[in-house]
């Protein structure tokens, strides 16, 4: 399922320079697919250690993609990895990433932190720069409420792991201009994704359906209906999914999973998204899943 992406040079509005704010799980993947497609990328993060971690994981994942693209041709694989990696620079200074064609925000899933970031960028960036949020479940409109360029703003929601998952949800707000929407769709194609369009509704398409599934799985475990291992095996072998719900929650990050459920609950008032004691407890204990070394399972 990995695609290198297509050249978007035919378009007037082709995105050539991209900034990704937030270099965690998602930001590093988004930066990678843009660099693979030949675009120049800047990753901004407040945490220099996470920028270093991002560069390492991009190197590893570029090699995985390169091996698939250029089966056995070691020279071509090495060139692909080197050239793609060289298109990525990193910085802790937001100003270094402000003057680009497209900025994709992939920072922590908190409304006020995202709003503050976009308000700052709105001042720093030239008028041509399109802004997009990769939020899982917060309202795109609410995140951009304070910016002037509402016509040049929307949602670009990727899936983890970004280099592998083929979908991109393009969120068109009422204020998103047709030109901005088309540019976002075209950019999605340029980085190798199949785009679907969704209005700015809670959880968009995929998380609106995955959220209740994930929440109910955790409640099953809490009730003692079945073990986490058996629930995971059940959904893999019985529903044909690549990961069970606990493997997926650990992979997504329990902290992000919890914040996303919170956002869905506050918007829909649907009790299925109400806080779950077990999840609250695990996040409070710092059990975030793979990224912290322990979640429902242990990793090292």
The answer to whether 246 and 228 are in contact (CB under 8 A) is yes
The one segment of 36-44, 62-70, 123-131, 216-224 that binds ligand CAA by CB under 6 A: 62-70
Q: Find residue 168's DSSP bridge partners.
A: 195
CB of 211 to ligand CAA, least distance (A): 9
Quick one: which of 25, 130, 168, 215 contacts ligand NAD (CB under 6 A)? 25
Identify the active-site residue in 8, 28, 125, 136: 136
Which residues, 6+ apart, have CB-to-CB distance to 274 below 8 Å?
265
- Residue carrying structure tokens 């960028």: 121
Residues 226-245 that bind ligand CAA (CB under 6 A): 242-243
Active-site residue flag, 157: yes
- 74-113 mask for ligand CAA (x: CB under 6 A)? ----------------------------------------
The one segment of 3-11, 24-32, 72-80, 211-219 that binds ligand NAD by CB under 6 A: 24-32
Does 252 engage in binding with ligand CAA (CB under 6 A)? yes
Does 142 engage in binding with ligand NAD (CB under 6 A)? no
Residues contacting ligand NAD: total by CB under 6 A: 28
Active-site residue flag, 207: yes
The answer to whether 111 and 132 are in contact (CB under 8 A) is no
User: What are the angstrom distances between the C-alpha of 169 and each of 135, 271, 295?
Assistant: 11, 25, 27
Active-site residue flag, 178: no
Euclidean distance between CA atoms 278 and 264, whole angstroms: 18
160 is in an annotated binding site: yes
Does 296 engage in binding with ligand CAA (CB under 6 A)? no
Euclidean distance between CA atoms 173 and 200, whole angstroms: 6
CB of 294 to ligand CAA, least distance (A): 19
Which residues, 6+ apart, have CB-to-CB distance to 215 below 8 Å?
261, 272, 273, 276
Quick one: which of 4, 16, 68, 110 contacts ligand CAA (CB under 6 A)? 68
Closer of 58 and 100 to ligand CAA (Cβ): 58
Does 117 engage in binding with ligand NAD (CB under 6 A)? yes
Residues 202-261 that bind ligand NAD (CB under 6 A): 252-253, 256, 260
The conformational region for residue 240 under phi > 0 = left, psi -120 to 50 = alpha, else beta, is left
Residue 148 phi/psi, 5-degree rounding, is -80, -40
- Helix (H, G, I), strand (E, B), or coil: what is residue 185? helix
Q: Find residue 132's DSSP bridge partners.
A: 104, 154
Active-site residue flag, 169: yes
Closer of 45 and 247 to ligand NAD (Cβ): 45
Q: Find residue 104's DSSP bridge partners.
A: 20, 132
Active site positions, annotated: 136, 157, 169, 207
């Amino acid at each position: 399922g990995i695609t290198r992406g297509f050249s978007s040079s035919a378009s007037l509005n082709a995105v050539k320079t991209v900034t990704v704010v937030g270099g965690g799980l998602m930001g590093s993947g988004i930066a990678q697919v843009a660099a693979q497609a030949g675009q120049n990328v800047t990753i901004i993060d407040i945490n220099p250690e996470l920028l270093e971690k991002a560069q390492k994981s991009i190197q590893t994942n570029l090699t995985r993609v390169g091996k698939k693209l250029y089966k056995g041709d070691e020279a071509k694989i090495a060139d692909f990895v080197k050239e793609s990696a060289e298109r990525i620079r990193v910085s802790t200074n937001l100003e270094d990433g402000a003057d680009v064609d497209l900025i994709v925000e992939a920072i922590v899933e908190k409304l006020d932190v995202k709003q503050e970031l976009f308000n700052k960028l709105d001042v720093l960036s030239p008028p041509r720069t399109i802004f997009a949020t990769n939020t899982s479940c917060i309202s795109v409109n609410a995140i951009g409420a304070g910016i002037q360029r509402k016509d040049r703003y929307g949602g670009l929601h990727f899936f983890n792991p970004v280099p592998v998952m083929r979908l991109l949800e393009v969120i068109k707000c009422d204020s998103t201009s047709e030109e901005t929407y088309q540019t976002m769709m075209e950019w999605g194609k340029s980085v190798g994704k199949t785009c679907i369009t969704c209005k700015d509704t809670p959880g968009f398409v995929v998380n609106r359906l995955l959220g209740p599934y994930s929440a109910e799985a955790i409640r099953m475990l809490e009730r003692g209906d079945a073990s986490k291992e058996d629930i995971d095996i059940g959904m893999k072998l019985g529903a044909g999914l690549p990961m069970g719900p606990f493997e997926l929650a650990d992979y997504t990050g329990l902290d992000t999973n919890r914040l996303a459920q919170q956002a869905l609950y506050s918007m829909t008032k649907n009790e299925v998204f109400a806080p779950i004691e077990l999840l609250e407890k695990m996040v409070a204990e710092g059990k975030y899943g793979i990224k912290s070394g322990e979640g429902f399972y242990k990793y090292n």
